[in-house]
Amino acid sequence: MDTQLARLHRGAPPQEDSFADNLLEGLAKAPKEIACKYFYDEAGSRLFDAICDLPEYYQTRTETALLARHAGEIAALIEPGAEIVEFGAGSLRKARILLDALDNPRAYTPLDISGDYLAGVVQSLAAEYPTLTLRPMVGDFTGPLDIPTLPDNPRRAGFFPGSTIGNFRPDTALCLLRRMRSGLNGGGLLIGVDLVKDPSRLHAAYNDAAGVTASFNKNLLARANRELGADFDLGAFAHYAPYNAGAQRIEMYLVSLRRQRVSLRGQLFEFAQGEPVHTEDSHKYTIESFREMAARAGFNPRAVWTDEERLFSVHWLESR
């Protein structure tokens, strides 16, 4: 089967250019910042997979168990013959649970910004599901969602697991949900959302003992060195991920451990000792606050599944 990646936005600049532009702009700001979507080159995607297996990272285990436990109900809501469009597909591990439960899925369209990694995992999926139509697409789902319609125009259903929605500020998350709704042409969205909980549990999940999340965070700097010829000293930055209880979000930073200067594409950037670079937010919701946002985005929140400890939630949102 042909599993060549299509581009989500024809004519979009190559990833390295937009990463360079984002870094040059973000490091010139006060406070400094780098957009979290640039975590995900091939090395970053592999580090994220390692995070998913950590004992502290309850999110993947809990969401996977919810999907497996409720697969039959989910399949009934999605209906037979649907095209599944997955936003930020990653390893495709969760998609397998869905694909196994669905009645005769028409096609599977995984979208991800991490093109080399997506190409590899799609090859393995194609070998396991030889009769399934696969339409992998590389690109940024925060841009226009130009997903070509199949000739027989099957009903679409979106799949957005991993609480990736939490990486957006609530106002941006609302706009993203609205645009996903219109990209789904009237189809519903199955979405995983991490829940507000004991701050120490959240803190542990983003500050694992093995230091994998720290390596994932620092991959931004390693990637800048690899791809853009920057000279970040990875040992001179620390991973810092506190929980901001007022804003109900984990905030992730790289903190400069000393006064230093970094060169990037002919420009020099000064870092004071203790200066933070913001790299990610991970917003947490209550079931009610997320359903409210989904309704404001034009969805009709229907089923919601959660675990006994109410750590994580999976929602089925119908388009209105």
Ligand X SMILES: C[S@@+](CC[C@H](N)C(=O)[O-])C[C@H]1O[C@@H](n2cnc3c(N)ncnc32)[C@H](O)[C@@H]1O
Residues contributing to the site for ligand X (CB under 6 A): 37, 40, 45, 48, 52, 60, 88-90, 94, 111-114, 140-142, 161-162, 164
Q: Tell me which DSSP letter residue 236 carries.
A: G
**Each residue of 28-41: b (16+ CB within 10 Å) or e?**
eeeebbbbbbbbbb
Q: Which segments within the chain are labelled E, that is strand?
A: 6-7, 32-33, 83-87, 107-112, 137-138, 156-160, 189-194, 237-240, 243-244, 249-256, 260-264, 267-271, 276-283, 299-306, 312-319
Q: Give the three-class secondary structure for 300.
A: strand
CB atoms within 10 A of CB 211: 12
Shortest spacing between CB 81 and ligand X, in angstroms: 23
Shortest spacing between CB 240 and ligand X, in angstroms: 19
Considering beta carbons, is residue 22 or 133 the nearer one to ligand X? 22
Shortest spacing between CB 256 and ligand X, in angstroms: 25
Considering beta carbons, is residue 168 or 237 the nearer one to ligand X? 168
Tokens of 231: 């000279």
Shortest spacing between CB 95 and ligand X, in angstroms: 8
Considering beta carbons, is residue 137 or 221 the nearer one to ligand X? 137
Considering beta carbons, is residue 90 or 154 the nearer one to ligand X? 90
Shortest spacing between CB 28 and ligand X, in angstroms: 22
Find how far residue 15's CA is from the centre of its chain: 16
Considering beta carbons, is residue 100 or 270 the nearer one to ligand X? 100
Question: Is the preceding peptide bond at 31 cis, omega within 30 degrees of 0?
Answer: yes
